[in-house]
């Protein structure tokens, strides 16, 4: 950290300090970034890296869609196709979706939202960034040197016998998981121990609740995937025979272990997204959040129930009827908790003075996608329907509605909502709405045809398909191109705004969220002077705000 001491003490304020610099300009060397323990700088580094990963995953997705323009071979051979869709899945899940919201927005905002000057363990935070870089590097290296053709689920026994290089990718996933666990631990301890005076649990911003719930899931579930990928890598390399039935192993055990992590992982992706939406919907409806406690409790409810639904991925893996029925019913409970949130968000908008800015546009898209994705998910949770839809494009469309439709829209909503907070500049609102429109429409055009194709019986992961599905696939690919245009638009105007955007005031949305009570961009220590005191509840809009908060001394 560089010094903020002024060269002219006489000009300094009474405390003997120069005006505090923003975290962006406090130290400009490469070293001051790479070795920074400031949670905001770490978040910005995550932002850049994770967006790069998203770009890679997006290009792979586009390649898959282009390949499906014609029923037969289009631009690549079958093996390349297998590798490409595997890499798309691995990159998007492990490098983008799982870390995106916690590592970027969680890191940046959680300490500010609880009135702290950093997370509880800043060095551990930096370590988790480097674990991400190392894990991602290893996984990408494996993908470039041979790639994997197993799909992102790495199902055994194929993944233990394939000749492609799955082992480095699996070890990469393991290392990424360690970074995730450290981030989760950091958040849990930060929320418990670093809250400013006056912030009780039910005065926490809902994004903090969501991050806390996510952190618990992450710490509990990630060791399982860590273990299972290590065992699979060992099985693949040394042929131990843990999951390979030819050597006395049990492939179904792999599925249990894999989904025991990977289903809660869906909630690692969407719970923080729900948190962003709770913030955005309240800020742009100019209204108190409706049912604050219900939203907080339903977060914990999803986090808890999410651990007991993994079996719904295995209805066709020889599960007993009783087990399948139990998993099916518990799966419905996730729908109940999600519906509680949806109704509360709608209740928040109802009667509000909606300020239809870009983040709100993403909220609208989000609401549609999460309901649509959630309803199809509940349908897939019914055993008899799942047997029909299993491993078809219906499933692909469903989880893209949740993972892209919900998580990605919320990510973009958060990115636009907090862009002035992070960089102190405004993007162009008109372009923002254009981007949101392109993304929302592009998404619908991409994935609705996939629901139809899947329902008509088009299997997922296949290189070729019967001609009858071509029209739907062409529409889907056009939608993907539209999505790509949308992302490219966003990239352009955001990068432009970084340098040339209008300077933002400290609270451009006039939001009442705790994070807006400091400068935008914040100073290195987030709050100048003593630790702040927030007397109001968060998301408080409709009653007249209390007079200017007094600093507790």
Partner 1 sequence: MHRRISDIRPLFVAALLVATAASALPGGASAPRELTEEATRPPALRGVDVEEHLGEQVPLDLALTDEEGRAVTLGQLLPGNTPVVLTLVYYRCPMLCNLVLNGLVRSMRDVGMTLGEGYRAVTVSIDPLDTPLKSQQRRRHHLQALGMPERAPWSFLTGPDEQVKRLADAVGFRYTYDASTQQYAHPAVAMVLTPEGKVSRYLYGADFPQRDLRLALIEAGQGKVGTSFERVILSCFKYDPATKRYGFYIFGFLRLGALVVFGALATLLGVSWWREFKKGSVA
List contacts with partner 1 (CB under 8 A): 185, 188-189, 192-193, 195, 199-202, 216, 219-220, 223-224, 227, 231, 240-242, 247-249, 253, 257
Cβ of residue 215: shortest distance to partner 1, in angstroms? 10
Smallest gap from Cβ 99 to partner 1, in A, equals 20
**Looking at the chain, how many residues does it have?**
553
In the numeric block, which tokens belong to residue 493?
């105007």
Q: How many C-beta atoms lie closer than 10 Å to residue 27's C-beta?
A: 19
**Which CB sits closer to partner 1, 189 or 441?**
189
The label of the residue with tokens 């007993």 reads: 320
Nearer to partner 1, 221 or 407 (CB): 221
Residue among 203 and 428 whose Cβ is closer to partner 1: 203
Supply the minimum distance, in Å, between the C-beta of residue 211 and partner 1: 15
What ranges make up the beta strands (E) of 372-486?
425-426
What's the rounded Cα separation, in Å, for the pair 333 and 231?
A: 32
Distance, CA of 61 to CA of 477 (rounded, Å): 10
What is the Cα–Cα distance from 187 to 217, expressed in whole angstroms? 12
Placement of tokens 């958040």 in the chain = 187
At its nearest, how many Å lie between partner 1 and the CB of residue 96?
25
Minimum CB separation from partner 1 for residue 363, in Å?
30
- Sequence-distant (6+) residues with CB within 8 A of 261 are 221, 222, 224, 225, 228
- Give the residue with the Cβ less far from partner 1, 71 or 535: 535
CA geometry: angle 512, 358, 437, nearest 5 deg: 160
Measured from the CB of residue 241, what is the shortest distance to partner 1 in angstroms?
A: 4
Cβ neighbours around 141 below 10 Å, total: 14
Name the residue nearer to partner 1 (CB basis): 303 or 380.
303
Please state, in angstroms and rounded to a whole number, the distance separating the CA atoms of residues 335 and 340.
9
Half-sphere exposure of 261 (CA within 13 A, CB side): 26
Residue 342's nearest CA partner among 410, 417, 418 is 410
Please report the DSSP string for 38-93 in residue order: -HHHHHHHHHHHHHHHHHHHHHHHHHHHHHTTSSS-SSS-HHHHHHHHHHHHHIII
| Residue among 81 and 254 whose Cβ is closer to partner 1 | 254
Measure Cα distances from 302 to 102, 168, 306, 340, 504 in Å.
17, 33, 6, 11, 36
Closest CB to partner 1 among 257 and 408? 257
Q: Which is nearer to partner 1, 222 or 523 (CB)?
A: 222
Q: How many CA atoms lie within 13 A of 316 on its CB side?
A: 10
Q: Nearer to partner 1 by C-beta: 199 or 408?
A: 199
Q: Which two tokens stand for residue 361?
A: 């546009």
Closer residue to partner 1 (CB): 115 or 454: 115
Return the ∠ at Cα 333 (arms to 332 and 335), rounded to 5°: 65
Whichever of 96 and 514 has its CB closer to partner 1, that residue is 514
- Three-class secondary structure assignment of 328-363: HHHHHHHHHHHHHHHHHHHHHHCCCCCCCCHHHHHH
């Amino acid at each position: 950290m560089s010094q903020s001491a002024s060269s002219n003490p006489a000009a300094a304020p009474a405390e003997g300090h120069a005006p505090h610099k923003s975290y962006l300009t406090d130290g400009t060397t490469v070293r001051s970034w790479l070795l920074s323990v400031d949670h905001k700088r770490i978040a910005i580094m995550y932002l850049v890296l994770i967006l790069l990963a998203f770009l890679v995953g997006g290009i792979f997705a586009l390649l898959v869609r282009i390949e499906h323009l014609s029923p037969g071979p289009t631009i690549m051979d079958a093996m390349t196709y297998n590798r490409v869709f595997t890499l798309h899945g691995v990159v998007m899940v492990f490098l983008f979706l799982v870390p995106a919201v916690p590592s970027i927005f969680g890191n940046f905002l959680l300490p500010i939202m609880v009135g702290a000057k950093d997370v509880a363990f800043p060095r551990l935070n930096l370590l988790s960034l480097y674990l991400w870089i190392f894990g991602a590097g290893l996984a990408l290296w494996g993908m470039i040197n041979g790639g994997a053709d197993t799909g992102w689920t790495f199902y055994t026994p194929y993944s233990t016998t394939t000749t492609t290089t799955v082992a480095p990718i699996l070890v990469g996933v393991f290392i990424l998981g360690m970074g995730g666990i450290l981030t989760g631990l950091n958040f849990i301890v930060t929320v418990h121990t670093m809250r400013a005076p006056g912030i009780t649990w039910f005065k926490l911003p809902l994004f903090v609740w969501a991050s806390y719930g996510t952190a618990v899931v992450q710490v509990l579930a990630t060791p399982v995937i860590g273990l299972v990928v290590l065992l699979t890598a060992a099985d693949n390399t040394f042929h131990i025979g843990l999951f390979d039935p030819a050597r006395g192993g049990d492939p179904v055990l792999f599925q249990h272990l894999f989904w025991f992590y990977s289903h809660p992982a869906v909630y690692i992706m969407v719970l923080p997204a729900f948190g962003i939406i709770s913030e955005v919907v309240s800020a742009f409806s100019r209204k108190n959040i409706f049912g604050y406690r219900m939203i907080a409790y339903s977060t914990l409810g999803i986090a808890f129930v999410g651990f007991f639904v993994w079996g719904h991925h295995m209805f066709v893996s020889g599960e007993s009827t009783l087990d399948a029925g139990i998993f099916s019913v518990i799966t419905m409970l996730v729908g109940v908790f999600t519906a509680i949130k949806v109704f509360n968000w709608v209740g928040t908008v109802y009667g509000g003075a909606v300020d239809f800015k870009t983040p709100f546009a993403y909220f609208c898209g989000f609401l549609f996608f999460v309901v649509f994705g959630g309803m199809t998910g509940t349908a897939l949770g019914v055993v008899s329907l799942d047997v029909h839809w299993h491993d078809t494009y219906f499933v692909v469309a469903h989880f893209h509605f949740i993972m892209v439709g919900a998580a990605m829209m919320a990510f973009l909503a958060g990115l636009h909502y907090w862009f002035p907070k992070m960089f102190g500049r405004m993007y162009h609102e008109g372009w923002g709405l254009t981007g949101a429109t392109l993304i929302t429409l592009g998404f619908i055009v991409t994935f609705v045809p996939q629901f139809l194709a899947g329902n008509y019986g088009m299997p997922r992961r296949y290189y070729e398909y019967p001609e009858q599905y071509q029209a739907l696939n062409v529409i889907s690919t056009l939608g993907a191109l539209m999505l790509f245009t949308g992302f490219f638009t966003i990239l352009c105007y955001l990068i432009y705004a970084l340098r040339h955007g209008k300077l933002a005031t400290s609270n451009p949305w006039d939001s009442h969220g705790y994070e807006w009570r400091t400068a935008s961009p914040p100073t290195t220590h987030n709050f100048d002077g003593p630790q702040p005191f927030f007397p109001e509840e968060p998301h408080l809009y409709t009653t007249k705000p209390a007079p200017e908060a007094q600093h507790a001394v």
